[in-house]
Chains A and B, each alone.
Chain A
């Protein structure tokens, strides 16, 4: 029998606010334990939460970008459970009446557009972190993260394959970064992903029993974890077993998902409306104000790159994946670069160099105008395309202009026929055997001669002239 997977994804995204969701403590990552805390976020007796307006705005921003309906009336709820990293014994979250509902994100898989529904987006506070170190008799609790604002973004079970799930995560990450509401860093935990997975025979309408896969803590594991889980479920069913509803943890070292112990998941969260916060009334005016500040989103940008710059879909897709990349590209065009050429350099050399250093565009020393200037040097014939690669790498590393590098290193292309002719003559004189073979019809040897001339001129000879002269002389 053929099976189809049904996947829904819950994403927890840490919002990029400066302060926590219910107090004024900093949200900076990586400080000394418990240095970014106050009576409110460590749950001292008698303190009260006050909503960070920025967090509300970020949630609305995300809702608008994903086509959600923004609730005019929304409220917080308490999710009750005991854990040392949860200082109040409950998490302030949303349950009934979330801030955003009924949105949609488009993903492209194998050239086909797929729509993934967004069930809801809600705000909540993050928990702290337990630290297990020392003699083993005690654990420690760091509450710096307690109260950092999160958005929980819940998708409909519209995803049908691990590939789609990965595309969905990539797209969501791109959008969150465009919106400036989350840095999207899965490894640092500012973007977390849980997946609800079930299988059903192809053609069946009803959903199967689902398992929740947690702890998928890196982009590269989204597909792997889901592939494993789907295979596991198919195997269980084909062997006559039944899928049970459970929470499973992805173990990236062993590449498997494993059921959590029953006790740990037997939670009754006893949700009820948070009495310390008044219900939120979101006025249309605020929604309109936030809508007016939305940036151009990746889908729109991609379309524009294709129609305005004549880029292939493939190029446009890669360029818009990061807002900084797309902006860099457009800067280079503004400075006079030809779109497809700029795109080629960015996707080729620039990406290669960044990857070598494990860097992103944010850390890129090279300015878009510098690339445009270098391209002009190629067009003018000042440097050859080959030399340009050297120049580019130097620009990337030092941040110097192409002009300066060319002058400094004497990389100006030699187009003077006399100089080139001398080199050509020398090469012909030095390689009589090859000359004979070439004349006998082995035309492939032309490349050999060109190479020798270039070597002699340290790559600076204008390749076109070299070619012409060689053909003439041979």
Chain B
């Protein structure tokens, strides 16, 4: 078997048994990148030199027989997480030259546990989008069909995992940006509970919704990474001061009697028939494993997309104000201060980012605040209550991750509203702050992956990991890899 095809636990075993050297694994992955990266275009930056240095350090630790969970494991990081001394661009021209003098908490935790940074992956500029077509640099291709988008915004990370350009990756998820690309690329994507993972060093899009999570080849790898990146961080006031369980412990536990809620609002008209069928099959599969399906209602679902686009853009309009050409990043010349500001932001930001900044500026403006921002906050509370209510009777909620499989590049770029609807099933989860995971549950007749979303209670990633693992172990979907 080609080494790049390994997952974390397989690689761990081989490395620890000294049957594999960290540098050999790295060789195989960079070879794979050399072979296919010009087709997939998952990476904005490759950090080969540093990766081999890290591999050397990891190997020494492995040789002592006391390896860390990630010693020698090559990973890709979405390019909106700050890495000290390494370009961090958010796939935006405005940060095209930005090298942070600090490390994000997540990558520093991965570093403490021995990971190897392969490179930084492409995204929709500032994580705003569902296809990577909004990247300020280039569009990443779906490894299953190079004419299609990989999903987004963590499209680079999802494509890299699916194509074997890394063993695992981190993404960030504000409205579905981990789960939707994971679904479209046929891999596992977990968005943890808001507050479970520190956001320090994650370049903010919408602070109250952003959450870092994992993109992996299987459920167990996700649990392994969650063990490393989770937990309170004194640098992030919104990170929860809660103990972190060993997420791998629950894997393999029975799911008999687990109640799975099927929200009737999620099986909507216009949904792809093949997606609907696969998801229904998956539910039957879960039932056969002893889970008990219960129809539930999340009555405010229809307001989720609108609520999201008010709140996320409001926060974004403020979060992106710091890119003004004064301190770092791109600066355009101008005849005076105002002119410099306007030129810098006009040339530095892409169309979608500007659209969202304008939307958010509008919704926070005096006279509109109550009608938009405040109202949206109220609806957000109602959406959260929907979930609280549902979780009184069920343990997990199961839905499709995305209404369709991967669409063609360019298919939705002219119609932002159509694009926004690709996140229709994932957005409520961010608004409620609950955890959600997408796992492979089938393929379309075009051989495009379909994802199943499992949603859990606040800080109960364990249950969705447990159910996902049970499903995964009784199916073969996760073993399929694109033919590229």
A positions within 8 Å CB-CB of B? 39, 42-51, 78, 80, 82, 84, 87-90, 139, 141, 268, 270-272, 275-278
Contacts and interface: CB of A to CB of B under 8 A. Distances in A.
Nearest to B102: A39
A84 B327 CA distance: 9
Given A87-B322, A88-B321, A276-B207, A45 B90 contact: yes
A277 B237 contact: yes
A276 B361 contact: no
B324 A48 contact: no
A260 B140 CA distance: 51
B100 A46 contact: yes
B200 A44 contact: no
Contacts of A139: 337
B97 interface: no
Contacts of B208: 275
Secondary structure class of chain B's binding surface, majority of residues: loop
B201 to A, nearest CB: 5
B99 to A, nearest CB: 11
B198 to A, nearest CB: 9
7 contacts: A42-B327, A43-B322, A46-B82, A46-B202, A47-B201, A84-B324, A87-B322
Given A46-B203, A50-B235, A272-B314, 7 more contacts: A39-B102, A43-B322, A44-B102, A45-B82, A46-B88, A50-B236, A276-B207
B318 A80 contact: yes
Secondary structure class of chain A's binding surface, majority of residues: loop
A89 B237 contact: no
A89 B369 CA distance: 19
B267 interface: no
Contacts of B102: 39, 44, 47
B106 to A, nearest CB: 11
B366 interface: yes
Top 6 nearest A-B pairs by Cβ distance? A89-B321, A270-B364, A275-B207, A275-B208, A45-B203, A46-B203
A441 B322 CA distance: 90
Contacts of B80: 46
Given A78-B318, A87-B327, A89-B324, A46 B104 contact: yes
A327 B321 CA distance: 49
Interface string B198-217: 01111110111000000000
Contacts of B373: 272
A158 B312 CA distance: 42
A46 B101 contact: no
A45 B365 contact: no
B95 A45 contact: yes
A39 B341 contact: no
Contacts of A80: 317-318, 321, 364
A270 B237 contact: no
B315 interface: yes
Contacts of B234: 50
B81 interface: yes
Contacts of A39: 100-102
B271 interface: no
